[in-house]
Amino acid sequence: MQAHDPERPSDADLFRQAFRRYAATVVLVTYVDGSGRPAGLTATSMCSLSPSPPSLLVCINRATRAYAEITDRGLYGVNILSVGQRSVALHCSRPGMDKELKPEWLAADSADRPTPRLRGSLAHLECAVGTSYEAYSHHVFLGLIKDVWLNPVQDPPLLYHGGAYGQLESSAELTERFHWELPG
Ligand SMILES: Cc1cc2nc3c(=O)[nH]c(=O)nc-3n(C[C@H](O)[C@H](O)[C@H](O)COP(=O)(O)O)c2cc1C
């Protein structure tokens, strides 16, 4: 048997370190909980699946309350967050804390929708769970997209990278950087 090297990071640490280098767009997976309250879970595991049928997937930890609620209802919303929605992402990422969405975060038509839509999101995609798979600690929910709302205002997306929230460089910052990087 190989001797344990105390200096070597664990497999889980290496996994975390590798994914700190991966930049992802932050989404809020929304649902209506068993008491009828709008709630959300901050996630980066969402990705598009197919345009035909329009579909996406999201991986949800089975230890979360969202997992049980989404499984019960068979519905979830995906709100693609903009830079101005960092406080919503923080509110909905703390395990065990109250995940109810504040009324001022919700769109005026949210009560009429099966999944809560946030004001200021870049897009809201309403999904019905098509298929779902157990995968280690998580569950992969394949969602059939039933409705899409697009924000006419296109703010920059909220990103997560290196364990912190961030954003893309603005075109002014890019121009400035290229100016300094050009030789001579
Ligand atoms: C940037 C970021 C991305 C996250 N992505 C996911 C994800 O894709 N899937 C997931 O299950 N949890 C993810 N989490 C953790 C959940 O947001 C957190 O465990 C959840 O809100 C706990 O919910 P609960 O209090 O209902 O148990 C992420 C957290 C952060 C800060």
Q: DSSP string spanning 83-110?
A: GGGHHHHHHTTSTTS--BPPGGGB-TTG
Could you tell me the distance, in angstroms and rounded to a whole number, from the CA of residue 2 to the centre of ligand 1?
35
Closest atom of ligand 1 relative to the 96 alpha carbon: 25
Could you tell me the distance, in angstroms and rounded to a whole number, from the CA of residue 153 to the centre of ligand 1?
27
Tokens in use for 136? 């280690």
Measured by CA distance, the residue closest to atom 3 of ligand 1 is: 43
**pLDDT tens readout for residues 108-162:** 998 889 999 999 999 999 999 999 999 999 999 999 999 999 999 999 999 999 9
> Residue 16 in 3-state DSSP?
helix
The residues, ordered by sequence, that sit 6+ positions from 116 with a Cβ below 8 Å of its Cβ are 30, 31, 32, 38, 39, 40, 77, 101, 106, 110
CA atoms within 13 A of residue 79's CA, in its CB half-sphere = 28
Closest atom of ligand 1 relative to the 95 alpha carbon: 25
Domains of the chain and CATH, by start: 24-181 (2.30.110.10)
Spatial strand order of the sheet with 75-80 comes to: 38-43, 27-32, 75-80, 123-135, 138-150, 54-61, 47-51
β partners of residue 179: none
**pLDDT tens readout for residues 69-114:** 999 999 999 999 999 999 999 999 998 899 999 999 999 998 889 9
Instruction: Tell me what percent of the residues of the chain surpass a pLDDT of 70.
Output: 96
Tokens in use for 29? 């997976």
Q: Rounded to an integer, what distance in angstroms lies between the CA atom of residue 35 and that of residue 97?
A: 16
Could you tell me the distance, in angstroms and rounded to a whole number, from the CA of residue 59 to the centre of ligand 1?
10
Could you tell me the pTM of the whole model? Answer: 0.93
Burial zone of 76 (CB within 10 Å; 0-12 exposed, 13-18 middle, 19+ buried): buried
